[in-house]
Each structure stands twice: as structure tokens, then as C-alpha cells.
Amino acid sequence: NAGVTQTPKFQVLKTGQSMTLQCAQDMNHNSMYWYRQDPGMGLRLIYYSASEGTTDKGEVPNGYNVSRLNKREFSLRLESAAPSQTSVYFCASSVGTGGIYEQYFGPGTRLTVT
Amino acid sequence: QKEVEQNSGPLSVPEGAIASLNCTYSDRGSQSFFWYRQYSGKSPELIMFIYSNGDKEDGRFTAQLNKASQYVSLLIRDSQPSDSATYLCSAGWTNAGKSTFGDGTTLTVKP
């Protein structure tokens, strides 16, 4: 099993450009997440999907959109990138066994917006 | 006030010592608590979770939960240099997948 995979690993964008970060999991998990992590800080939730076809805003959704394409894939789109979106982006998935949601993370995408 | 607060760190302990990492949370509705370890430049990985008051042990790691005090801790016994990492505390809700993370505490174990 590959677990949670993310593409690309690194990306440099100019202000105003758009891009989509891809995430896929092969663990048959229902829940998927997108986080951003700024230097020296914890993870902040951008969007969450409890199941295929549903999405919910997290703490910092402004400037982002998501698509839960199917059970495996959850993509994050930046429509018009800004320097404030320079960060490391992590995708995660979980299954709520007994109501406990252990999260499994992908390797991350390091995004720089100039 | 952040929903999940952790020791500001960094924390430095000698090899073989006990490292104590602390976390407080503000939402009394939080029901499950997680400790993740994150090596520099890597993604977080789950160490353990706890949802009942008291202690939970897994090898050299012990998680402690006190719901009355809204306090969670992680003890690492016989600390090794390979334990040097940032430790993230997270609070979640049973039957709801979302959780909130603290900013992390960086631990350095010196040989």
C-alpha cells in the first residue's frame, strides 16, 4: 500500500497563478483533509471531507477550493495564488474506528508563491 | 486563545532521561486526543491516542489525560537521540473527523 500520496512535491508559483494539488489514498478511508503548516507552527485545517461528495470548511479556507472526486481522491485548488499562501500543504485521511479518527498524512507539497 | 496549547519549547533532555510534553485544550467537548511526531522536513506520524482519563502506555511512551483539568501529556521514557522531533498534540471529537492541532513542542535529546 502506498498510503497517502501527494503531487507535486515542490512547486513555485507567481502571484496570481493557479494550481491544483492532488491527493490520493489507497486505505479505503472515508475522511480526508487538507492542512497547511507555516514555519514553527502546527497544522491548520483548510478543508475537510467526511465522505465522497461532502466537503466542509476548516479554519483557513479563504483562497482555496476543494473537490472530493471519489473516495480515493481529494484535490485542493488555489485559484489566484498569493505570497501568504507560501506554506507546506499536507493531505491526510482517516477512518473513524470506534469514533476515533487517527489521521495518516501524505509527504506534503512545499509551495512557494513569489 | 488557541483551542490547543502546547509547551512553547524547545525542550532539551539528556539521553536516557524522561521527556515530558504537555498540552491543554479549551473545548470541553473534545473527546479524543492524539500525539503525532514530526521529524524535520517530514510529515506527521501518529504515536498514540487516548480518550479515557488516566494513563495509556505503549512501549517507552505514556499518554496521560485529565479531562477535569483539560490536560494531556506525553511522557517518553529512556529518551533516545532518535526521539528528537517536534511533537504535535491534537484534540478531536468522537464521531466527527475534524480535530485541532497545537503548534507543537520541539524536543532535542542530547547524547
Interface size between A and B, measured as CB pairs under 8 A: 64
Using CA atoms of B20, B91, B97, B103 in order, give the dihedral in degrees to the nearest 10. Answer: -80
Q: Does A42 touch chain B (CB under 8 A)?
A: yes
Burial of A66 (C-beta count, 10 Å sphere; 0-12/13-18/19+)? buried
pLDDT of residue B1: 63
**Averaged in consecutive runs of 10 residues, what is the pLDDT profile of chain A (114 residues)?**
93 97 95 93 92 91 95 96 97 84 94 97
Helix (H) or strand (E) holding B2: none
Q: How far apart are CA B88 and CA A14, in angstroms?
A: 32
CA distance B38 to chain A (A): 10
Return the C-alpha cell found at A70.
471519489
pLDDT digits (tens, 9 = 90+) for B55-103: 999 999 999 999 999 999 999 999 999 999 999 999 987 656 788 999 9
Spatial CB neighbours of B50, under 8 Å, sequence gap ≥ 6: B32, B33, B56, B63, B64, B65, B72
pLDDT of residue A92: 96
